[in-house]
Amino acid sequence: MFVRAHAERHHLLVADDAGQVAGFLAFRTDWFQCTFVSLVVVREDRRLRGVARALYRRVEELSTSPRLYSSTEETNAVSIKMHTALGFAPSGHIDNLPQGYRELLFYKRIRPWGLGRRTLHLTPAGRRKPGFGSSSRIPNVPLAASTTRSTTVTVAA
């Protein structure tokens, strides 16, 4: 039961650019009953093209909570700029971490549509619906979402 609940609440979004992984974003929905983005990384040669923006947009669509949190090290100027550009506001920090720097928390209030208004379909890993996650800014970057159990999740339109 616990393992299943854990797997269902930890997700990985993969940005697929013409069959290649352009970036990924990990998020969880069991963080103080809020949605928390743990990590986002975009391939160096795919940056500044809206991939991270598209990944966060998908998290907003999938979130079951209207409260979206994210974080980054205080030394990561690019990430801080990205969070600001994406509409996040500073929301405190975490001290005493082994990384040696403070971890800055960011918060964004989002529309609470989440999973309640959409249906999640679990399909075998690797199967994706064409066009899923496409964004107007980067139309050729469909997003495939999978849980940490490597199960592909697609969102019904």
Ligand X SMILES: CC(C)(COP(=O)(O)OP(=O)(O)OC[C@H]1O[C@@H](n2cnc3c(N)ncnc32)[C@H](O)[C@@H]1OP(=O)(O)O)[C@@H](O)C(=O)NCCC(=O)NCCS
Interface with ligand X (CB under 6 A): 39-42, 47-53, 72, 76, 78-79, 81-82, 85-86
53 CA to centre of own chain: 9
Q: Which of 88, 105, 136 is nearest to 31 (CA)?
A: 105
Q: Which residue type, as a one-letter code, is found at position 46?
A: R
For tokens 């999640």, name the residue: 120
* Residue 69 CB, nearest approach to ligand X (Å): 12
By beta-carbon proximity to ligand X, the closer residue of 78 and 97 is 78
* Residue 76 CB, nearest approach to ligand X (Å): 5
Contact 98, 111 (CB under 8 A): no
- Tokens read off for 83: 């969070």
By beta-carbon proximity to ligand X, the closer residue of 90 and 112 is 90
Contact 107, 89 (CB under 8 A): yes
C-alpha distances (whole Å) from 133 to each of 51, 58, 106 are 11, 7, 24
By beta-carbon proximity to ligand X, the closer residue of 84 and 123 is 84
By beta-carbon proximity to ligand X, the closer residue of 104 and 153 is 104
What is the distance between the alpha carbons of residues 128 and 49, in angstroms, rounded to a whole number? 22
By beta-carbon proximity to ligand X, the closer residue of 18 and 156 is 18
